[in-house]
Amino acid sequence: MTPSGAELAGYQGQPGSFGARAAARCGKPVAFPTFERTLRALLASEIGCAVLPAVNRVDGPILESLDVLARSLAEPESAIAVEAEIEVPVRLVLAAPEGLALEGVREIHSQAAVLRQCRQLLARLDAIPIDTHDTAYAAFRVKETGGPRAAVCSEEAALEAGLIILEEDVSDVRPNTTRFWRLARARETADPVPRSDVAAEGPAPRIVFYTGVKASSALAEAGAELLSLPGTPGDPIRGFAVVPEKSVARAAALTGRPAGGERVIWLGPAPEFVRPPRMRDIPKTTEVREPSVVAVGPFVVGGGRRAVIAGPCAVESPEQVARLARAVARAGATALRGGVFKPRTSPYSFQGHGLEALGWLKDAGDAAGLPIVTEVMAPAQVGPVAERADVLQIGARNCQNYDLLREAGRSSRPVFLKRGFGTTVEEWLSSAEYLLDAGSRNVILCERGIRTFEKATRGTLDLGGLLVARSLTHLPLFADPSHAAGRRDLVPGLARAAWGAGVDGLMIEVHDAPESALSDGPQALLPEDLEELLDEFGLLPGTSGSVERIRRAIDVVDGGIARLAAQRLELARRVGAVKRASSRPIRDEAREATVRARFAEALGGDTPAATRLADTLIDLALEAEKPDDA
Ligand code: PEP
Ligand code: MN
C-alpha cells in the first residue's frame, strides 16, 4: 500500500542523511532538494509533516534552515506550527574512497552546518572545506570523483557510498546532537491530541518567532533560548526562541505587547494549552510532564528509579510475615506486601485476618525497615488501613469501584492501582484519573495479567498494554508477574520480560512454605528464588543479611564484568584488524579520553577508581589490537 500524504514526513537532503533519520521518526521519509521546497510541500498537503534542523549542539542555530522558516512565517498567512522537537545523535565520520590515507586528504566535502561542527578536524588536516547539498550527497560525490577528497557524513552514508572510514567521531564536541523540529500545518495542531499515526516524541517545544529588539529582550528575560538570525535591514533582529515550559506564561505576557513594527508569533501549542491533555477525558493521568516519582522511605519509583515490592499474598500470622519481611529485605526488595483483606473467588475461602493482621504487617515492616503495601476492598476500610499502611493497594477486582477509588484518592497515602482483568488500558487510566481527581498525587499503576482465551496461565501479562500506558501516562508503572502466571516456574521469565520492557517496578509474591500457604501458594517464589532474580536485576541486597548473601550478589556482578571484559577484548581485536586494513593508527587519544570520561561519569567524578579502571581497559585493548604475530 502506498502511504497517503498524511503519513509522509518531508526532509531536505537524501537517504542516509541526518534529516532522513529525523524524518523516519515521524513517518515515511520523503526527500526534497531544498528547505523551501520541503515547506512548500507541507503547505500544499503533499506531506503530513516536515522535519527541519534547528539547533546543533556544536554549531548552534542552523541558519540555513531557520532562515527559510522565518521567511515563510513572515508571509501574511503563515500557517506552520512546531509540533515536536526531535533530538538526533550526530556521529560524524571522515570517509574517503579506498586508497586515500588521512595525510593525503586535501578537500573535505559536507554540508556547511556540518563543516562548522568539525573545525578542529579541518584545522588539523589543513584541508579545504567544500560545501555540498547534504552529508549523504557528499559521500556519493567523493566516491564518484575520487582524488584527494574525503567527506564528513554519517557512518551509514559512508558505507552506503562504499567509502572507507578514516576517522570516527570528528565533531568538535562529543556526543554531538542536532535538534530537529517537526513542522505541521498550523490549523491541524489546534487539536491538542497528537496524531496517533505519529510516534509521540515528548511535549512540543514552545517556540516563538520574533522580530525586533524589544521582543528579543523580553524573551531573553523570560529565560528563553534565543536562536537569532541575521535579519534584514527592515527587521534588524529576528529569530526563534525556545521557551522553557516554566516560563511560557511569563514569555507570553512579556511578548504580548510588542513595540510598533515588531512581530511575535507562537509556533506550536498556544500558551493557554500549557499542559495539553493527551487523552481528552483523563487529563491528569495523561498530562505531558516529567515522570512522577513516588517515594516512601527506601521505596522510590518512577523517572528512572526502579524497585520491587515483595511479600506473601496474605498475612497469615505475626511470625510468618516477620520472617518473610526479613527475607525480602535481604533479597533487595524495598517494600513489603501482604493482604489482610483478601478478595477471594469463593466466599468459603480464607478472607484475610483483617485489621489485626495489619498490625502484624506493620511490625514486620518496621523491623525489616520496609514500608508496607496492603489492599483495601471497601471505602470504609480506607480510613483505618491508611492509619498504618504506607501504600494502599486497589486490587484487580476493584479497579472500577469508583466509590473506593474516590475514597482512596482522598487519603494522604500513595495508591497502588492494579489493572482489572477485564479493563482496557484506557479504562485503567480512567480509574487512575479518579484517584488524581480526588486529590491523590502519588499513584502507581500495575499490570497483573488480563483474561484472554488462554487457560494455560492464570492471566495473560499484557506487555503491549503496559507499553501503551507508558506512552500515555507520567505515573510509575509496575507489573505483577505472580498473578499473571499463577505458577511459580513462569514468574522469573515474566518478571524479566516486564523488567526488559522498562517497568518502574515489580510486585512479586513470596512464601517460604508455599505448600501450606493460605492463598496463592502455587505462584509464590521461594525467598532464594527472589534473591537470585533481584541480583540479576542489579537491585542491591539489604544490609540485614549475611556476608554470604551479599557475596552472592557480588558474584553475579563479577560474572557480568568478566563476561563484558572478554567481549570488550574481542571487540578490540576486531577493531584492530579493521584499523590495520584501512591504515588507521591503532591509538586514538580523543577516543581514549571518551572512555575515561564515561567511567568518570558512571563512578562519580574523576575518582581514582574511574581512572584506574579506564586505564586498565585501555591498556588491555591496545595490547589486544596488536596483530597476533606482534
Ligand atoms: C493480590 O495482590 O494479592 C491480589 C489479590 O491481586 P489482584 O488484585 O491483582 O488479583
Ligand atoms: Mn495473591
- pLDDT tens digits, one per residue of 431-490: 999 999 999 989 999 999 999 999 999 999 999 999 999 989 999 999 999 999 999 999
Cα of 395 from ligand 1 centre, angstroms: 5
188 has a pLDDT exceeding 60 = no
Q: Distance between CA 350 and CA 367 in Å, rounded? A: 26
Q: Nearest C-alpha to atom 6 of ligand 1 is from which residue?
A: 395
Could you tell me the three cell numbers for 442? 502519588
451-459: which pairs have CB atoms within 8 A and are 24 or more residues apart? 451/421, 451/422, 457/484, 457/485, 457/486, 457/487, 457/490, 458/483, 458/484, 458/485, 458/486, 458/487, 458/523, 459/421, 459/483, 459/484, 459/485, 459/486
| Residue 331 near residue 527, CB atoms below 8 Å | yes
DSSP-derived letter for residue 311 is E
pLDDT of residue 270: 58
Tell me the pLDDT band of 600, cut-offs 50, 70 and 90: confident
Tell me the pLDDT band of 77, cut-offs 50, 70 and 90: confident
- Give me the helices (H) in 56-134, please: 63-73, 112-115, 119-125
pLDDT tens across 162-185, in order? 999 999 999 998 889 999 999 999
Task: Give the number of other CB atoms < 10 A from CB of residue 430.
Answer: 20
Using most ligand atoms within 8 A of CB, pick from 308, 315, 336, 375 the residue to mutate for ligand 1. 375
Tell me the pLDDT band of 372, cut-offs 50, 70 and 90: very high
- Range 541-578 burial, b when 16+ CB lie within 10 A, else e: bbeebeeebeebbeebeeeeeeeeeeeebeebbebbee
414 has a pLDDT exceeding 90 = yes
The verdict on whether omega for the bond into residue 3 sits within 30 degrees of 0, i.e. cis, is: no
- Nearest-atom number in ligand 1 for the CA of 396 is 8
Cα of 360 from ligand 1 centre, angstroms: 20
* Strand 263-267 with 206-211, pairing: antiparallel
pTM listed for this prediction: 0.65
Least distant ligand from the CA of 451: 1
pLDDT of residue 590: 76
Q: Distance between CA 152 and CA 103 in Å, rounded? A: 16
Using most ligand atoms within 8 A of CB, pick from 405, 444, 480, 507 the residue to mutate for ligand 1. 480
Q: What is the 3-state secondary structure (H, E, C) of 210-244?
A: EECHHHHHHHHHCCCEEEEECCCCCCCCEEEEEEC
Q: Nearest C-alpha to atom 3 of ligand 1 is from which residue?
A: 313
597: exposed, middle or buried (Cβ count in 10 Å: 0-12, 13-18, 19+): middle
pLDDT tens across 134-156, in order? 899 999 999 999 999 999 999 98
- Nearest-atom number in ligand 1 for the CA of 480 is 9
607 has a pLDDT exceeding 60 = yes
198 has a pLDDT exceeding 60 = no
Cα of 448 from ligand 1 centre, angstroms: 8
**Short-list 598, 595, 629, CA closest to 615:** 595
77: exposed, middle or buried (Cβ count in 10 Å: 0-12, 13-18, 19+): exposed
195 has a pLDDT exceeding 60 = no
pLDDT of residue 273: 40
- Nearest-atom number in ligand 1 for the CA of 519 is 3
Lowest mean pLDDT among 55-69, 332-346, 415-429: 55-69
Using DSSP, state whether 507 is helix, strand or coil. strand
Could you tell me the three cell numbers for 374? 496492603
Range 374-391 average pLDDT: 98
Least distant ligand from the CA of 458: 1
pLDDT of residue 146: 93
Range 419-439 average pLDDT: 97
| Residue 447 near residue 478, CB atoms below 8 Å | yes
Cα of 303 from ligand 2 centre, angstroms: 27
When comparing pLDDT for 404 and 82, which is higher? 404
**Short-list 17, 7, 61, 37, CA closest to 181:** 61
- How big is the chain by its Cα radius of gyration, in Å? 29
Average pLDDT over all residues of the chain = 90
Using DSSP, state whether 10 is helix, strand or coil. strand
Element (H, E) at 371: none
- Nearest-atom number in ligand 1 for the CA of 342 is 5
* Strand 443-447 with 415-418, pairing: parallel
Cα of 517 from ligand 1 centre, angstroms: 15
Could you tell me the three cell numbers for 245? 515550559
Q: Nearest C-alpha to atom 8 of ligand 1 is from which residue?
A: 395
DSSP-derived letter for residue 456 is S
pLDDT of residue 589: 82
Element (H, E) at 373: strand 372-375
Residues 6+ apart with CB under 8 A from 469: 425, 428, 429, 445, 447, 477
163: exposed, middle or buried (Cβ count in 10 Å: 0-12, 13-18, 19+): buried
Tell me the pLDDT band of 268, cut-offs 50, 70 and 90: confident
DSSP letters spanning 484-503: HH-SGGGHHHHHHHHHHTT-
pLDDT of residue 200: 44
Element (H, E) at 176: none
pLDDT of residue 10: 97
pLDDT of residue 190: 42
| Residue 94 near residue 158, CB atoms below 8 Å | no
Lowest mean pLDDT among 203-212, 318-327, 408-417: 203-212
DSSP-derived letter for residue 339 is B
**Short-list 337, 340, 363, 365, CA closest to 351:** 340
- Nearest-atom number in ligand 1 for the CA of 507 is 2
Cα of 553 from ligand 2 centre, angstroms: 28
**Placement of cell 504487617 in the chain:** 361
- Nearest-atom number in ligand 1 for the CA of 395 is 8
Q: Which amino acid is at 452?
A: T
Q: Nearest C-alpha to atom 10 of ligand 1 is from which residue?
A: 396
Residues 6+ apart with CB under 8 A from 4: none
Cα dihedral 490, 496, 502, 505, rounded to 10, equals 70
pLDDT tens across 274-298, in order? 444 568 889 999 987 789 999 999 9
**Short-list 42, 45, 54, 114, CA closest to 80:** 42
Tell me the pLDDT band of 510, cut-offs 50, 70 and 90: very high
Ligand 1 pocket (Cβ < 6 Å) reads 313, 339, 343, 395-397, 418, 448, 480, 483
Using most ligand atoms within 8 A of CB, pick from 337, 393, 446 the residue to mutate for ligand 1. 393
pLDDT of residue 128: 94
pLDDT of residue 272: 55
Least distant ligand from the CA of 393: 1
236 has a pLDDT exceeding 80 = no
Q: How far apart are the first and last CA of the chain?
A: 57
Q: Distance between CA 155 and CA 464 in Å, rounded? A: 33
Lowest mean pLDDT among 129-143, 233-247, 322-336, 506-520: 233-247
